[in-house]
């Protein structure tokens, strides 16, 4: 709890809309408390821009407690910035040095087109989910929850995969803009649970097909996704996805 203030230079990507081309703008900013979150720092900048009669920087954010997955800034060459295991909203200014220049870019991927400034369209993730990221059970059909015991280890592992917040940092971090970690996490969550078995094969085939259609790149196992994932989703999920895919392809009709 040693609050200090910082003077910084921000280099931020500005882009009017999907159709126009963007460019970087540079903004000096001073008196930033080290206790502020990164987004609160951008709030301060925006307040200043509004006062000066300029357009504030558009960026996605909502819960500001690291769980909704909406915030998405590529800060100094890394998704969600320099700190390991946090989203941008949980990144605090104490992670930066006095006088630093901070480069802020939107997620870059053809499947995540920029809508404005730092706001990108991640509906490709929703479409992958719609293709197969579910268990087909209509409301009202469920049996008693405890009639289906699930070993703690499997349940815990499934939960670790399910912890994905769908922020897209994995895609942003990957040099190939691959969405494998996102897809793998969902495939793993269900592959590890007995409820997920009936659709195990079709799910992985459909989700991978949709991932392909959205134009995400391939996985070269660099591990950048795992390292940058704010929720620590493991790369072993990708290996499981590959395994699931191979066996599903081999047995599909």
Orientation of helix 236-251 relative to helix 180-191, angle to 10° = 70
Segment 68 to 87, residues that bind other proteins, using CB under 8 A:
68-70, 74, 76-78, 82, 85-86
- Residue 25 near other proteins by CB under 8 A: no
CB of 123 to other proteins, least distance (A): 7
For residue 31, the minimal CB distance to other proteins (Å) is 10
Is residue 29 a contact point for other proteins (CB under 8 A)?
no
- Asked if 177 interacts with other proteins (CB under 8 A), we say yes
Figure out which of the listed residues 8, 39, 45, 181 binds other proteins, where binding follows CB under 8 A: 39
Q: Are 165 and 68 in contact (CB under 8 A)?
A: yes
Which residues within the stretch 138-157 sit at the binding site for other proteins (CB under 8 A)?
138-146, 148-152, 155-156
Using an 8 Å Cβ cutoff, are 188 and 129 in contact? no
The residue from 8, 158, 181, 233 that contacts other proteins (CB under 8 A) is 158
Residue 230 makes contact with other proteins by CB under 8 A: no
Instruction: Name residue, tokens 């915030």.
Output: 71
Written as one string, the DSSP assignment of 186-250 is: HHHHHHTSGGGSTTHHHHHHHHHHHHHHHT--------HHHHH-TT---THHHHHHHHHHHHHHH
CA atoms of 214 and 41, how far apart (whole Å): 34
- Restricted to residues 91-120, the positions that interact with other proteins (CB under 8 A) are 92, 94, 103, 105, 108-111, 115-116, 119
Which of 10, 45, 165, 233 is close enough to bind other proteins by CB under 8 A?
Answer: 165
In whole angstroms, the minimum distance from the beta carbon of 52 to other proteins comes to 10
Q: Which of 8, 45, 73, 208 binds other proteins (CB under 8 A)?
A: 208
Binding residues for other proteins, how many (CB under 8 A)? 133
Three-state secondary-structure class, residue 183: helix
Angle of helix 180-191 versus helix 200-214 axis, rounded to 10: 170
CB neighbour list of residue 145: distance below 8 Å, 6 or more residues apart = none
Q: Which of 6, 45, 131, 233 binds other proteins (CB under 8 A)?
A: 131
What is d(CA 85, CA 102) in angstroms, rounded to the nearest whole number? 19
Answer yes or no: are the C-beta atoms of 215 and 112 closer than 8 Å.
no
Place of tokens 């993730």: 125
**Does the footprint of other proteins cover residue 235 (CB under 8 A)?**
yes
The residue among 55 and 98 lying less far from other proteins, judged by its C-beta, is 55
Map the footprint of other proteins across residues 42-71, applying CB under 8 A.
43-44, 47, 49-51, 53-56, 58, 60-70
């Amino acid at each position: 709890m040693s609050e200090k203030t910082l003077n910084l230079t921000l280099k931020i990507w500005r882009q009017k809309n999907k159709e126009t081309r963007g460019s970087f703008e540079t903004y000096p900013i001073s008196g930033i408390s080290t206790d502020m979150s990164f987004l609160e720092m951008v709030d301060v900048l925006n307040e200043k821009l509004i006062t000066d009669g300029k357009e504030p920087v558009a960026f996605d954010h909502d819960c500001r407690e690291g769980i909704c997955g909406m915030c998405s800034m590529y800060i100094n060459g890394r998704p969600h910035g320099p700190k390991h295991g946090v989203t941008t909203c949980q990144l605090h200014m104490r992670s930066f040095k006095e006088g630093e220049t901070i480069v802020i870019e939107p997620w870059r991927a053809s499947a995540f087109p920029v809508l404005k400034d730092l706001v990108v369209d991640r509906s490709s993730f929703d479409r992958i989910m719609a293709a197969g990221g579910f268990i087909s059970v209509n409301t009202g059909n469920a049996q008693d929850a405890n009639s289906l015991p699930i070993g703690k280890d499997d349940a815990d592992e499934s939960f670790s995969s399910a912890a994905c917040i769908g922020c897209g940092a994995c895609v942003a971090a990957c040099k190939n803009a691959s969405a494998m970690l996102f897809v793998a996490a969902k495939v793993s969550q269900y592959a590890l649970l007995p409820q997920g078995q009936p659709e195990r094969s079709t799910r992985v085939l459909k989700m991978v097909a949709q991932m392909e259609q959205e134009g995400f790149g391939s996985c070269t196992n660099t591990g950048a996704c795992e390292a940058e994932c704010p929720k620590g989703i493991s790369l072993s999920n990708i290996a499981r996805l590959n395994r699931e895919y191979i066996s599903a392809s081999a047995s599909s009709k």
